Amino acid sequence: MLLIKGLGDRIRRQREKRGLKQQDIAHALQVSPQAVSKWERGENAPDISLLGPLARLLGVSTDWLLHTWGEQPDVFEATVFTSGVKGAAEKSMHLDPKNFAAWANGVFAAVTSAVLHHDGVPVKYLGDQCLCFFAGEGQQERAVRAALLSCEMTAEALEIGLSYGSVYLGAIGHADYERLDIMGEAVNIAFLTMNWASRHSKSGMAVTREVACGLDGKLHLGPEVSAVFPELEQAVYVNELRGLVQDTRRIQWS
């Protein structure tokens, strides 16, 4: 019991240090928030199959979790989800700041609900844009489903980009103002993919080759395009996202 209690204390301390909620851990690992609460109280221990994903999410090693120590980088594989709203800049010119914020919060509520429904982790909001990530089993399909659900949950024309790769999760900024964030090439590519989708697709959604390959045969996609961005030395291969093959419902893009 003492060993389990110590494990629970380490999970709680590291979760709080990284600015994560129990719900965030639960979504990322696809367990219930009650299960995470029981781990932290020392009433139960995570299944052995979850120790690796849990350690990566907390930015430590499994040895550290099990009290045999040895730190490792706060880096793991994730599917990055970015969203924005077409015409947001123009809307901001016609609304006073308070009303624009109210409008943006309405969009964020819909997108965040879709992300949480598919066990994603919201990270931050900036202007009309939202940054989230998905980790663990089935992360790419869950991210795609969240993108499609987001479009169904709001009347606004969304622009969404999905990429896959290594991300760093941790507190970013001055010690007095630091906030949880994710960083890495996959994050930058997700935003660039979102911008590409806004300009070159009817659906307003696009995925990188890495996401598409992870869901081979499951997606309705546009032709693969070699997208060149001034910010990157190499081209990024992207596809317009149009839907999931197994869905009985299909979103009709005008």
In a shared domain, residues 110 and 46: no
Label residues 193-231 b or e (16+ Cβ within 10 Å = b).
Answer: bbbbbbeebebbbbbbebbbebbeebbebbeebebebee
**What global pTM score does this model have?**
0.74
Instruction: Tell me the backbone φ, ψ of residue 102, rounded to 5 degrees.
Output: -65, -40
In a shared domain, residues 207 and 91: yes
- Across the range 101-122, mean pLDDT stands at 92
* pLDDT tens digits along 78-94: 999 999 999 888 888 88
In a shared domain, residues 121 and 34: no
Tally of structural domains, the chain: 2
Which residue among 19, 38, 72 closes a domain?
72
* pLDDT tens digits along 90-107: 888 889 999 999 999 999
Identify residue 212 by its one-letter amino acid code.
A
Which residue among 12, 43, 72 closes a domain?
72
Asked if the structure places residue 249 within a domain, the reply is no
Which residue among 72, 89, 106 closes a domain?
72
Give the pLDDT of residue 219. Answer: 92
Residue with tokens 């990157």: 232
In a shared domain, residues 181 and 86: yes
Of how many residues is the chain composed? 254
Cα(131)–Cα(186) distance, rounded to whole angstroms?
12
Cα(165)–Cα(187) distance, rounded to whole angstroms?
8
Asked if the structure places residue 253 within a domain, the reply is no
In a shared domain, residues 161 and 105: yes
In a shared domain, residues 105 and 53: no
What CATH number has the domain bearing residue 105? 3.30.70.1230
Q: In which domain, by residue range, is 46 found?
A: 2-72
